[in-house]
Chains A and B, each alone.
Chain A
């Protein structure tokens, strides 16, 4: 099955600096890559996603890039703010053999701390 590796597991940055989180995946058939943000004690919430027919996507201070050849994708956060502090999860969507449905496989998460 699909395997998603996420690095780093923890990341500390100064307010205003940029943060980059990287993920690699194993199944070349994966075609959808969402990123979730989870604040302490809260549910994961989708912040941005990218599909396999696109190389880069931006939404204000966040961007995601996808390199299908190398099978990796990255989350970029610019001008970080204290409210960006959270755990971020990447995921890859692949066809699951069980019932012909697509499933998400998640990375283990990155705890981002933005220091004021």
Chain B
């Protein structure tokens, strides 16, 4: 497995509380992504980063914010958690986004964080 860790691995919180999930990589990859996985929906992109301090929204970004102050860390914050944000959250990294035929765009996933919002 690529050097990707996520913390915490499990969290239970209450509606309305702030929550921050951390993704840490030791691969020095430029791109980092946050996905959520829900039954019947597959993996959906929340936010991604294409460099330090460079981030953009994905398909399901409402209610989430991100920050990347260092190459190795990508934080996902739920400012005020809701029950609809109960999910498994996966971080992913890729070296680059090369031309078709390049291998740098392979995405490798972290172990996931199971978040329950009561």
Contacts and interface: CB of A to CB of B under 8 A. Distances in A.
A101 B48 contact: yes
Interface residue tally on A, bucketed by range: 20 to 34
A109 to B, nearest CB: 5
Contacts of A1: 59
Nearest to A90: B42
Interface residue tally on B, bucketed by range: 20 to 34
Interface in A82-116: 89, 91, 93, 96, 98-99, 101-109
B118 to A, nearest CB: 22
Nearest to B4: A43
B59 A102 contact: no
A52 interface: yes
B42 A101 contact: no
Contacts of B79: none
A114 B87 CA distance: 27
Kindly list the 5 A-B residue pairs having the minimum CB-CB distance in the complex, ordered from nearest: A98-B56, A31-B100, A108-B42, A43-B109, A106-B42
